[in-house]
Amino acid sequence: MEKISRRDFIRIGATVTAAGAALAAASGTRSLLEKGGAPVVGRGGAMAAPPLDETWVKTTCALCPSGCGLVVRVVDGKAVKIEGNPLHPLNQGVCCLRGQAALEMLYSPERLPRPRLQTGERGNGDWREISWDEALALVADRLSALRAAGQAHTVVFLHGETRGQMRALINRFMTAYGSPNVISQDSLDEQAARLATFLTQGINGIPVYDLNNARYVMTFGGNLLEASRHVIGYLGALAFMRRGRPDRGKLVAVHPRLSLTGVKADEWVPIRPGTYGALALGLANVIVNSGLYDEDFVRDFTFGFDDFEDEAGNLHMGFKRLVLERYPLDRVESITGVPAADIARLAGEFATNRPAVAVMPTGPGGLASGNSLYTAMAVHALNALVGSIDVPGGVWVQRFPRLADWPDWTPDPVAEAGLAQERVDGAGSDALPLALSAYQNVADRVLPAPVGAAQVADEPYPVNALFLYNANPVYDAPNGSRFAEALRKVPFVVSFASTLDESAAHADLILPASTFLEVWGDDYIEGTGYAGVSLRRPVVEPVHDTRDPGDVLLSLAAMLGGPLADALPWRSYKELVEYRLSAIDVDRDKFEENGVWSEMVYFNAAPGSPAWGNVVGRDRLNAPKDGRFDLFSRELFAALAQGSSDDLDCLPHFDLPATVESGDAATYPFLLVTQTLITQPRSWEGILPTLQEAYGLQTNMKWSSWVEINPRAAEALGVKKGDLVWVESAVGRVQVPVRLYEGLWPNAVYMPPGQGHRTLVKWGRGSKANVVIGANPNRLLVAGTEPLDGVAAVSPTRVRIYKA
């Protein structure tokens, strides 16, 4: 650090003041008027100002899936500062930059103040503001008519992140209405991680990693410290792993790009995009071959390590033979580009520094290579090999509180008929049997196939109405322009957007959602292992005439009556939440006062103990709940139509992503990597100006997008820092400035997701309104869908780069 010179500060610092300062001094005087009576920090320290009448209100953040507890400073009915709630066990009083910037969301000039109806042709932007009564009547009439016509199943509900009871409310609403089409954005990523955990460990959930106690952490993917599900918990835990305890743990980050996670890791392992699975299996090869695995655990608490015979006497391949025969180091090196010596060393370190934990790629874009299910299974298998299941420093299972049972209701014949229909996204069909959602498929199911392409599937039925909640497919789905086309084809589109995002622009009706700082709600505490709930409540009066989508759905249920009213008998979302939480054994006053309740302690189940069944096998349907971690997935064996015709179907294995293997490398030589930055709010589509001003830390880019290119590749291309280039894929192109970055796989290029929104607001002096800030890399992604689990297969997309 002593190497930093004064010149470095001048070079890096954003203030460009060094030259000509003395000259400018002459013009530095100002008129008294311009001072505007601003108070000053006077001599002798702080001035004696009277204390303001202020209150601090506890609530829960919703800008990313961490769901941190917040305390908001409210003065004169305005929220003016946000801090972390010290009593929330995940964030413990800290608050990340997104939470800090949530005030800019609450008071955003981009917010839609009241419901609006598109009057002209869809997408043209002719809007008329209407009252909530009128808006709700429009929706209820349409839903009633469709239901009466036996078309209930043609109503589709697309949603993104849901918090607390909201997902259950949406599902319940749509089930009682009679449509199977609740389609979650999970298929853009998280679905693979959840399913892999289920198919191996038998737990339907996202694993929690106990970094506090781990000695060795290997994270696949670059998101852990920026965009993982429990990012705030992991930041605190990693600090503790390093400096809080006597033995410092080691963090290794495997990713094609040196992300913040890689920078802050003890070691960065650059890897060819899309090949995490091969590396995990190569590591397993070394651990098995050298006998460094946990023999007792593998023998007693896993299934399918050695070759085995089934009841009929057929021989099946076990995990051991799989990795020894198929993933020797030279092969893994040639696939991943990680030197064999490094793989051997990393495997040795991982197996001998226990507790060690291997972290699945998490967060947006982490698992979207078309081989994500088996990749996640391969990574998770490493945890079983070293016996890290439910031990301190290993993989924990998130527990949830038991809440009051949902009231009984009986579906009517309309609902039954509707629910019996196939889903419009194809999830659960023979082609995608284990998919719970296939969000990216919706456009292709609504639209006829493009000229020259095969129809993805027979269009099962036309979609007559579509709801959008926390979802902006025109922006966030691969090849979103097709979604815009699809939305135009659906006769009735309703959006709950808070701002006029790209998809809402194609809606007939926008029912603007209140922000999380204006509503009641609950949030499960996740990332700690133990169960807990954090309360959400309005910190200020609603800024605009907006409503919580939970309240809107309950109003609609009441208006529609019948099974909907039976299934959802509450008048408000607040009542619903209060009912559900009523079963928690907690001192209500304390709960209210603290804003949060949790069990505070995680108990680790010893293998074979009575509680072990809760951490291995709990959620299995067909596979036995025998407390064994499936290296050979019995659940998958049962699910597949042909059973065991190929053992590889049930074992974690690796296939090169189609784009890497067979893509048009001559035309599109680069592999596009995207990875969410910590400066990107996860569930807000508008501009948060302060996050824009902190946007690209490594490249010092503000209010902009860029493409990162390895300097060697840039030299070959003949482009320099700052050059404007086109980044073009088979489906689209975007224009961005070049940034040279050494921390990048040589033929990978990186673009930050999250930019490319149009803003109607003039943000700051000299700036223009109605411009697009940065560029949206999703426009380059070629839509594909992974077999079995329906996860979007989009990365790495092949691109080429040329000067604009």
Hey, which residues between 290 and 309 contact another protein (CB under 8 A)? 300-301, 303, 308-309
The binding track of 107-146 with respect to another protein, each residue x by CB under 8 A or -, is xxx-x-----------------------------------
Instruction: Quote the least distance from Cβ 559 to another protein, whole Å.
Output: 26
What is d(CA 393, CA 354) in angstroms, rounded to the nearest whole number?
8
**CB within 8 A of 430, min separation 6: which ones?**
641
Contact positions with another protein (CB under 8 A) in 230-289: 232, 235-240, 242-246, 258, 260, 263-264, 266, 268, 270
DSSP state letters, 139-184 = HHHHHHHHHHTT-GGGEEEEE----TTHHHHHHHHHHHHT---EEE
Residue of 802, 661, 658, 797 lying closest to 730 (CA atoms)? 797
Q: Does 649 bind another protein (CB under 8 A)?
A: no
Distances 583 to 168, 206, 532 between C-alpha atoms, Å: 17, 25, 13
Q: Does 571 bind another protein (CB under 8 A)?
A: no
Q: Does 363 bind another protein (CB under 8 A)?
A: no
Span interacting with another protein, options 6-14, 349-357, 463-471, 792-800, rule CB under 8 A: 6-14
Backbone conformation region of residue 387, classed left if phi is above 0, alpha if psi is from -120 to 50, else beta: left
**CB within 8 A of 453, min separation 6: which ones?**
none
Nearer of residues 316 and 326 to another protein, judged by Cβ:
316
What is d(CA 300, CA 629) in angstroms, rounded to the nearest whole number?
10
What is d(CA 251, CA 248) in angstroms, rounded to the nearest whole number?
10
Angle (deg, nearest 10), helices 276-289 and 372-385:
30
Instruction: Quote the least distance from Cβ 233 to another protein, whole Å.
Output: 9
Q: Which of 21, 451, 453, 666 binds another protein (CB under 8 A)?
A: 21
Span interacting with another protein, options 155-163, 321-329, 476-484, 642-650, rule CB under 8 A: 642-650
Q: Does 647 bind another protein (CB under 8 A)?
A: no
DSSP assignment letter at 17: -
Q: Does 84 bind another protein (CB under 8 A)?
A: yes
Q: Does 648 bind another protein (CB under 8 A)?
A: no
Q: Does 8 bind another protein (CB under 8 A)?
A: yes
DSSP state letters, 543-578 = SSS-B-HHHHHHHHHHHH-HHHHHH---SSHHHHHH
Neighbours of 546 (CB within 10 A): 23
Instruction: Quote the least distance from Cβ 477 to another protein, whole Å.
Output: 21
Q: Does 9 bind another protein (CB under 8 A)?
A: yes
Is residue 679 helix, strand or coil? Answer: coil
Neighbours of 99 (CB within 10 A): 24
Inter-residue contact 24 to 559 (CB < 8 Å): no
Nearer of residues 263 and 292 to another protein, judged by Cβ:
263
Inter-residue contact 343 to 332 (CB < 8 Å): yes
SS3 of 274-306: CCHHHHHHHHHHHHHHCCCCCHHHHHHHEECCC
Q: Does 150 bind another protein (CB under 8 A)?
A: no
Q: Does 545 bind another protein (CB under 8 A)?
A: no
The binding track of 594-633 with respect to another protein, each residue x by CB under 8 A or -, is x--xxxxx-xxxxxxxxxx------x-xxxx-x-x-----
Q: Does 750 bind another protein (CB under 8 A)?
A: no
Q: Which of 157, 516, 524, 654 binds another protein (CB under 8 A)?
A: 524
Nearer of residues 251 and 332 to another protein, judged by Cβ:
251
Instruction: Quote the least distance from Cβ 480 to another protein, whole Å.
Output: 23
Q: Which of 145, 148, 420, 697 binds another protein (CB under 8 A)?
A: 697
The binding track of 179-208 with respect to another protein, each residue x by CB under 8 A or -, is -------------------x-----xx---
Q: Does 81 bind another protein (CB under 8 A)?
A: yes
**Rounded to a whole number, what is the largest CA-CA distance in the chain?**
94
What is d(CA 528, CA 599) in angstroms, rounded to the nearest whole number?
10
Any idea what the Cα angle at residue 224 is, between residues 714 and 433, rounded to 5°? Answer: 95
Residue of 225, 180, 163 lying closest to 548 (CA atoms)? 163
Q: Which of 60, 200, 212, 495 binds another protein (CB under 8 A)?
A: 212
Nearer of residues 506 and 634 to another protein, judged by Cβ:
634
Q: Which of 405, 452, 585, 718 binds another protein (CB under 8 A)?
A: 585
Nearer of residues 333 and 728 to another protein, judged by Cβ:
333
Residue of 785, 786, 782, 776 lying closest to 796 (CA atoms)? 782
Is residue 194 helix, strand or coil? Answer: helix
Could you check whether the bond before residue 796 is cis, i.e. omega within 30 degrees of 0?
yes
Any idea what the Cα angle at residue 449 is, between residues 444 and 450, rounded to 5°? Answer: 110
Contact positions with another protein (CB under 8 A) in 764-803: 764-767, 771, 773
Is residue 412 helix, strand or coil? Answer: coil
Instruction: Quote the least distance from Cβ 124 to another protein, whole Å.
Output: 26
Instruction: Quote the least distance from Cβ 119 to another protein, whole Å.
Output: 25
Q: Does 724 bind another protein (CB under 8 A)?
A: no
Q: What are phi and psi of 14, to 5 degrees?
A: -75, -20
Nearer of residues 411 and 732 to another protein, judged by Cβ:
411
Q: Which of 62, 65, 104, 318 binds another protein (CB under 8 A)?
A: 104
Span interacting with another protein, options 378-386, 716-724, 755-763, 777-785, rule CB under 8 A: 755-763
Is residue 381 helix, strand or coil? Answer: helix
User: How far separated are the first and last CA of the chain, in Å rounded?
Assistant: 39
Instruction: Quote the least distance from Cβ 455 to another protein, whole Å.
Output: 23
Contact positions with another protein (CB under 8 A) in 432-491: 433-436
Q: Does 720 bind another protein (CB under 8 A)?
A: no
Nearer of residues 638 and 648 to another protein, judged by Cβ:
638
What is d(CA 266, CA 167) in angstroms, rounded to the nearest whole number?
38
| Tokens found for residue 382 | 């490493």
Span interacting with another protein, options 29-37, 359-367, 470-478, 721-729, rule CB under 8 A: 29-37
Q: Which of 637, 654, 668, 750 binds another protein (CB under 8 A)?
A: 637
Q: Does 518 bind another protein (CB under 8 A)?
A: no
Residue of 523, 520, 507 lying closest to 65 (CA atoms)? 523
Nearer of residues 42 and 413 to another protein, judged by Cβ:
42
Nearer of residues 1 and 454 to another protein, judged by Cβ:
1
Q: Which of 65, 89, 273, 777 binds another protein (CB under 8 A)?
A: 89
Contact positions with another protein (CB under 8 A) in 389-418: 400
Q: Does 101 bind another protein (CB under 8 A)?
A: yes
Any idea what the Cα angle at residue 15 is, between residues 9 and 21, rounded to 5°? Answer: 100
Q: Does 29 bind another protein (CB under 8 A)?
A: yes
Could you check whether the bond before residue 355 is cis, i.e. omega within 30 degrees of 0?
yes
Contact positions with another protein (CB under 8 A) in 162-181: 167-168
Backbone conformation region of residue 595, classed left if phi is above 0, alpha if psi is from -120 to 50, else beta: left
Count, residues near another protein per rule CB under 8 A: 182
Instruction: Quote the least distance from Cβ 138 to another protein, whole Å.
Output: 28
Instruction: Quote the least distance from Cβ 446 to another protein, whole Å.
Output: 22
